[in-house]
Chain A
Amino acid sequence: MAVSGIKSRPVYPGLSPDPNARSNVVVCDVAGAEAVVELLTRADGAFARRTSIILSADGAGSEQAQALAKRLEPAGVEIASGLPAAISHLNAILDQASMGLRLYAAGSEPLIGSVVQAGLDHFIDHLSIRTEHRGSLKRRVQCVHCKGMTEDVTTNPVTCSHCGLLLLVRDHYSRRLAAFQGVCINAESPGERPEPNVEFP
């Protein structure tokens, strides 16, 4: 079974400013915020003033998040407690959005995938979303057997957090699900339990 080198694996070309966009919406996590700082330095002040940023703070303390927000000025920054809150905020913006909005995502793959998924739900072509991967290589994995999602996966194989099967994490990726595929690793050798390796630190 092919594990790596699979063409559905997304590529993230990196952030670049769209000077023609009437408004810009950026979703990032703490690691991705560094890419957004670089994006803003490559653009002018007018670009920054047309830009709203949703920062998913995750575990970061409020002081660290506030300090990051300061570095992103003059863009407007909303701090969300974590990825679900950030995406729900994004959905609220996209529900009201009009033509000329450009969407950006920077940070972990689950964050980028969730932003692209929200974009698709609002009929935004995935190739038009500007993305940059920063920070952890952790993945969201869908168990092909029980369909449950396991979040923040860093090891391969990984135990499904729903049905408990030991899953081989493949590079096969679904944009619709924003997840990689996990397939039972020991179906043909039920007694064996290969040791999990940290492959996605």
Chain B
Amino acid sequence: MVLAFKNETFRDDFTFSNSPESIRRFPFPFHEDKYMYAVNIEPHVPGPKGTVYEFPIDIDEHYVAEMRDREIVLAADPGRCQALPHMMTAQWDMLELLMTSMARDYPEHFSLTQDGDHWHWINRPLGIDQKFTFGDHTTLPYEPMEYIGRQCQGDFSIQDQRDGQLWMDAGIITTQADWSLDFDIGMNFFEWHGPVPLAHEAGVFERALKFLLNLQVGRPVRRLNWTMTINPRLDTSPENYHKWGIDRTTVTPENVGDKVHLRVELQGLWRLPRSNAILFSIRCYLIKMKELVTIPKWGRRLPRVLETLPPEIADYKGLTRYRQMTIDWLKKYDDGAPTSPGFGPD
């Protein structure tokens, strides 16, 4: 599959949009007409051809533009990429996982030649040709996590495992839904999830941690998470909240279709072989309401789901100001017909 990479922006003039193919493969996160809080973890096994699950690492038409946006964020705020000193082995694990996946699944765009520790990486879309020694970070222009993180869609954090806990000890995070790596680095699983409402009391994090501590090499898992964003902005960081927060006040009944975006994270979790750390990928997909309602099932379902969202969750996700306006706009596309079970288009 040869991808046509789009020239588009996620800031200022916001020229981002999805092609019809990209809309059809959007990972719509609701399998029924109501909201339900769930860990919803499943094995990260290959899915049908053309879907976002076809390959372990999904590269799509937004690849080049997203990498350009990451470069802008890192230039302005280098603290978005940090690793504690004991995480170097895990960084190499991550580089290996991403390079081998990308080269195997997108051979038109990426190649990797391995001769012992002498590796040769070619990234055609970004025009990179790099020979380096695996395990020697001085042979790369950045440390391994940052090097490959600048070439792969999605945010990544790496969790060290010790004392029956996971510790977020490294990450490259530029497209986050309002959490700060710089603040959270070094925290354990319960601490970095501290601000999430309701779930602690429901025991969600205890169960999730227990599950993840037993994650096996070669058996990655995934889940979907979602929120909504005004404008197709990838960098909805707390660092810049004083700049983008105001966007939430700009939604009107007339512009909902263009301004309001569903933001879905395909989250993958991999046990890393050398370090025994866990790689967490947070791959963000954006779709504006106008694009979403071109799939009739989703246009019917999303307003029904939003109506059943508990207020605490709406507040945590930052939807409170524009939730009703969005429901009202979407209702035009809900004729009341029943929807089929499952996530995908009919």
Contact = CB atoms under 8 A, between A and B. Distances in A.
B34 interface: no
Interface in B159-202: 180, 182-187, 190-197, 200
B242 interface: yes
Interface stretch (B17-25, B48-56, B105-113, B244-252): B244-252
Contacts of B79: 147
B195 A6 contact: yes
Contact of B183 (A2, A9, A174, A184): A174
Contacts of B239: 144-145
Contacts of B316: 1-2
Interface in B223-278: 238-246, 248-249
B245 to A, nearest CB: 3
Interface of A is mostly: loop
A177 B249 contact: no
Interface residues of B, number: 32
Nearest to B200: A7
Contacts of A90: none
Contacts of B180: 144, 181
Contacts of A6: 194-195
A8 B241 contact: no
A176 B185 contact: yes
A184 B239 CA distance: 10
Contact of A174 (B186, B200, B315, B318): B186
A173 B190 CA distance: 12
A184 B245 contact: yes
B210 interface: no
B219 interface: no
Given A7-B191, A165-B242, A147 B182 contact: yes
A184 B200 contact: no
A144 B182 CA distance: 9
B252 to A, nearest CB: 15
A190 interface: yes
Chain B CB within 10 A, most for which of A173, A175, A176 = A176
A183 interface: yes
A187 B245 contact: yes
A1 B195 contact: yes
Contacts of B242: 145, 165, 184, 187
B196 A2 contact: yes
Contacts of B186: 174-176
B246 A2 contact: no
B11 interface: no
B88 to A, nearest CB: 17
20 contacts: A1-B318, A2-B195, A2-B316, A7-B190, A7-B191, A8-B192, A142-B183, A147-B182, A170-B195, A171-B194, A172-B183, A172-B194, A173-B191, A174-B186, A181-B180, A181-B238, A184-B245, A187-B242, A187-B244, A188-B245
Given A2-B196, A172-B194, 15 more contacts: A2-B316, A7-B190, A7-B191, A7-B200, A8-B190, A8-B192, A9-B194, A145-B239, A145-B241, A147-B79, A174-B184, A174-B186, A174-B187, A187-B243, A187-B244
Interface of A: 1-2, 6-9, 142, 144-145, 147, 165, 170-177, 181, 183-184, 187-190
